[in-house]
Chains A and B, each alone.
Chain A
Amino acid sequence: MASAVGILTAAGTYLILRLRTFPVIVGLALLSYAVNIFIFASGRLAVALPPVLSTQAEGYTDPLTQALVLTAIVISFGMTAVIVMLALGAFLETGSDRIDTDDDDEGAR
């Protein structure tokens, strides 16, 4: 589990450091997976323990982190959508999808 978080973070970070918008978006998505799992895992993992109250259950998982992550997932979708749109708009405006446009990049497409 921890290694998965680590790998996802590393991959996300690496992709964000690329110079084109699309890898950055994908990297951001990976990073948000990593963060979500991180938060989720900070509630300690449990297999086959219900988060729903019932009379038979012996114990419960941590519902709090689940609730946090649930909204986080939805919000990160919203953010991804905004960034995609920004990237798209920028690409259509300038004809390039480079992110750091300080150097001359006309015709880079």
Chain B
Amino acid sequence: MSLALIAALPFLGALLPGLLIRSGRNACALATGTVTALALLMLGLHAPAVLSGEVIHTRIEWMPALGLNANFFLDGLGLLFAGLILGIGLLIILYARFYLSSRDPMGQFYTYLLLFQGAMVGIVLSDNILLLLVFWELTSLSSFLLIGYWKHLPEGRQGARMALAVTGTGGLAMIAGMLILGQIAGSYDLSVILQSREAIQASDWYLPALVLILLGCFTKSAQFPFHFWLPHAMAAPTPVSAYLHSATMVKAGLFLMARMWPVLAGTPEWFYLVATTGLVTMVVAAKIALFKDDLKALLAFSTVSHLGLVTMLLGFGTKAAAIAAIFHIINHATFKAALFMCAGIVDHETHTRDLKRLGGLRRLMPVTFALSTIAALSMAGVPPLNGFLSKEMMLEEVAHTAWAGQVWLMPAFATLGALFSVAYSLRFIAHGFLGPVRKDYPSKPHDPPFGMWAAPAVLVLLLVAIGLAPMPVAGWLVDAAAGATTGGLVHAHISHWHGLTPALWMSVAAIGGGLILLSAHRPLMRAWLATPRPEAKRLFDGVLEPLATAARGVTQGLHDGALSRYFAIATVAVVTAGAAAFLTGSHQGGTRAPTPVDLVPVVGWFLLIAATVALVLRHHDRFLSLVFVGVVGLIVSMGFAYLSAPDLALTQILVEVATVILLLLALNFLPKRTPAETGLARRLRDGAIACAAGLGSGGLIYLLMTRNAAFPSIADYHLANAKTGGGGTNVVNVILVDFRGFDTFGEITVLGIAALVIFALTETVLRAGPANDRLLGWSQRHRQAGDRHPLMFVVATRMVLPIALMVGIYIFLRGHNLPGGGFIAGLVVAVAALMQYMASGFGWTSARKRVEYHALIAVGVLIAAAAGVGSWFAGRPFLTSAYGYVTLPPLEKFELATAMVFDIGVFLTVLGAVMLALASISRIAVRAGERVSATPYDVDLPGDGYGDR
């Protein structure tokens, strides 16, 4: 558990800075530091066991079906990296506390930092490559936030975007590579993958997997030709640069190469891909670094160069090279973090990082000068500092490595890279601190407060200690980490003097050449500026711009906000997909005999078709189309009745009534005709789409009906258990209130919400606004019927009301066993009540209404819920029903089930929802000046004074 906790701590802690920033910057920094220190402490507790060769595992099942588990493990390599991430993280937190100005939102900064830290720790501790990928992407995202922290600077935003684009693309490639790797190994667990070297290297998929994974590593570690994003990421605040580019983000790629080393390394492909890339990166970046005037740009390219060095060493695939790589990772983290912080101090104090405007800071900032000098000398590889040690080891390895048979090639280029490295390191000191004191610094420089130089000082002390006594200080860590990398016991021998080896001569040549290069810097710089070279950013933008334009074009083409276009595209897509599936699959004719056809259904069918066709042809006349809709609805409900679905027929016909009334009400306010607006071409196009859709759905259902179901229907289960389990013989109703009661519960809730939405919309329309004005000024344009509320109609509906209510109750009670039930009863009563509205007008009726429809809906849903919850008390799952038979004296024996209580809920909700929906729309009519009758029936005579507003 505790390994998962180490990775989780920074994420949990990321909440703290945001909260604590209110109690001040110190509290905020302290909280962040405490979280990191705690994680470091927990890591430290595991260290003794790991150093003695143990591997600690923590396994948590997450999504085992996908092979994605939250498995963590800690070995020497993980310990080294986690230690670097957390240790340097701690120093960065301290440094950032003093670096950030009071205008910068510090809480955000620390939150991003902790998120990033958590993601990094997650990478190095993951034992599952899928989990690792999750963390990998998280580092890309959180580093985006960190690099773009100064949102007001365009360079910051661009740099962040570029970093995200490059590392994100690499990440995608790596996902593919990792999946291939997992497929070959048969597991996504690293510990398993690391054991299957032979299987993986023998596989045909080895090379694609290797290339894809390396793409991810190279983009992350800014290897040539992806190195261009790193210098642009320097727009970030210096603590971010120091953290991301010394110890963490860019090392993630190296970590992964080291992690995968036992499986992937040792083949010629690995050597040529990795070692060559590393060598090229090292030389190219070192050369560019020499000609950068910006302190941070210089350090950025030097970082790229050193990453290339480590990549090259890992590419050699030998044990000794891996040891050198691990050792150099440690050394680079110490001197580069220190140098970044020093550059930040210089920037902070002098307000410039331009080497051309600096110089002479030696006397003004002695502490910074001392720290920078030691760190830079280490970077240059000057004895006895730690940079020298690992560089010697590197040169030693290079000296006996041949590239494509050429023995001299690698040593020559490596020496050249080292030579450039010496030159730019010394330039950092010479042009920044040495020389005469100038008078034109943008700000008067002096040493910063202790808090700010404490962090680099710790690092410098460390690097000196490693340099003077490598074995006691760092030997054990290198042993553990290199042992874990190579998968065997390792005893490193790090010493200053190896005798007069080729490596020593190469070192001497590099230092000598570097000094010469520095002295000739001015003419070289002129030559450099004069030669044209590709500008990476412009190329990058050139690639990205058309992509963005294309994406925007597609989005706006498909997504222009026009409903008809959405619908057309969706329909065409569905029909095309269906057609493609149908045409490519094999197909046999149906075997099921068609249902024999009588005359009556044929007449019904003919009516339906005729009504539909007429509807389409005459849809401009809206009243007429409404009549046709009614016809269609009627036929459909009759069809249900004919085809043995009495419940459906009842429901359909009632809904039909309500729908037509609703549409009539709405049509009162909408234009009565639909103008023809579309041209012939558009109509033909739409007609074609519509025909295709109709053909598709018709064909599909035809094919479906002419054969038997592929699997036995679960309907049999319902039929068999309706009586015994649900206590009813009307299986449809039992399914609704019992088997699928939870669905029904959801559905009545939706219905209730729909009604409330209608109510809310009505309220909006009736509030003061253009709609309300329009309504108040409404004038009836068309002739009205003479009788507003005809006497006969009124009398008839009054008579029908009690009968309808009785029928409703009857239908409700028998619903469990015979066609009927809550839905239908609710609709019956609703229609009966609607009749009253129609007969006597809205105002007259609502004055006599004693129930609020909102309350009906609420009570209905609550009763249904209560019926469900009730079964908990009987120790049964939600909505289990119980039933018994009750005899009330005047009635027949009837059944009482708890499902019936649920059905009452359904009944009330349906009633309330239908009534609320229609009543809401009626209120619009009232607002539009319809007169409210004072009496139940009246005659609308021109000029009479009947009614009141």
Name A's B-contacting residues (CB within 8 A): 1-26, 29-30, 33-34, 36-38, 40-54, 60-67, 69-71, 73-82, 84-89, 91-95, 97, 99-100, 102, 109
Contacts and interface: CB of A to CB of B under 8 A. Distances in A.
A2 B659 contact: no
B732 A87 contact: no
B256 interface: no
A34 to B, nearest CB: 7
Interface string B660-699: 0011001101110011011000000011011101111111
Interface string B568-588: 100100000000000000000
Contacts of B670: 21-22, 87-88, 91, 97
B655 A77 contact: yes
Contacts of B705: 1-2, 41-42, 44-45
Interface residues of B, number: 117
B744 interface: yes
Contact of B605 (A4, A50, A77, A95): A4
A109 B608 CA distance: 32
Interface in B714-750: 714-715, 718-719, 722-723, 729-733, 735-736, 740, 743-744, 747, 750
A37 B920 CA distance: 30
Given A13-B693, A30-B612, A84-B663, 16 more contacts: A7-B613, A10-B691, A17-B689, A19-B677, A25-B663, A26-B629, A26-B663, A44-B705, A51-B646, A53-B723, A54-B729, A63-B719, A66-B648, A79-B754, A85-B758, A86-B761
B747 A60 contact: no
Contacts of B828: none
Nearest to A86: B761
A80 B662 contact: yes
B616 A53 contact: no
B413 interface: no
B771 A92 contact: yes
A64 B632 CA distance: 24
B818 interface: yes
Contacts of A19: 564, 677-678
Nearest to B709: A44
Interface in B768-794: 769-771, 774-775
A46 B694 contact: no
B568 A17 contact: yes
B633 interface: yes
Contact of B761 (A9, A74, A85): A85
A46 B754 CA distance: 34
Contacts of B774: 92, 95
Interface stretch (B136-144, B351-359, B470-478, B637-645): B637-645
Which of B571, B666, B769 has the most C-beta atoms of chain A within 10 angstroms of its own C-beta? B666
B669 to A, nearest CB: 6
17 contacts: A6-B699, A13-B571, A14-B616, A15-B619, A48-B644, A66-B732, A67-B740, A71-B823, A74-B655, A76-B655, A77-B659, A81-B755, A82-B758, A85-B758, A88-B924, A99-B563, A102-B560
Contacts of A25: 663
A40 B731 contact: no
Contacts of B633: 33
B171 interface: no
A8 B765 CA distance: 33
Interface SS of B by simple majority: helix
Contacts of A11: 612-613, 615-616, 690, 694
B930 interface: no
Give the top 4 A-B pairs by smallest Cβ distance, nearest first.
A6-B698, A10-B694, A2-B702, A92-B771
B446 interface: no
B701 A38 contact: yes
Contacts of A5: 694, 697-698, 701
B561 interface: yes
A47 B595 contact: yes
A101 to B, nearest CB: 9
Contacts of A17: 564, 567-568, 686, 689-690
A86 B917 CA distance: 12
Given A13-B693, A14-B687, A71-B736, A30 B615 contact: yes
**Chain A contact surface mostly:** helix
Given A13-B690, A93-B765, A42 B701 contact: yes
A18 B769 CA distance: 28
B671 A82 contact: no
Contact of A46 (B595, B729, B750): B595
B713 A62 contact: yes
Contacts of A33: 632-633, 636
Contacts of A78: 750-751, 754-755, 913, 917
Contacts of A9: 690, 693-694, 696-698
Given A66-B645, A95-B774, A22 B764 contact: no
Most A Cβ at <10 Å: residue of B701, B704, B770: B701
A70 to B, nearest CB: 5
A100 B667 CA distance: 20
B648 A69 contact: yes
Given A1-B705, A17-B568, A54-B729, A93 B769 contact: yes
A61 B757 CA distance: 37
Contacts of B616: 11, 14-15
Contacts of A50: 644
A46 B643 contact: yes
Given A18-B619, A73-B648, A88-B924, A99 B564 contact: yes
B645 A91 contact: no
B644 A51 contact: yes
A51 B564 contact: no
B647 interface: yes
Given A21-B670, A51-B645, A64 B713 contact: yes
Nearest to B747: A71
Contact of B698 (A7, A64, A97): A7
A22 B674 contact: yes
B629 A29 contact: yes
Contact of B674 (A18, A36, A67, A93): A18
A92 B571 CA distance: 30
B735 A49 contact: no
Contacts of B595: 45-47
Contacts of A15: 615-616, 619
Nearest to B739: A67
A63 B755 contact: no
Contacts of A53: 719, 722-723, 729-731
Given A52-B819, A54-B729, A41 B715 contact: no
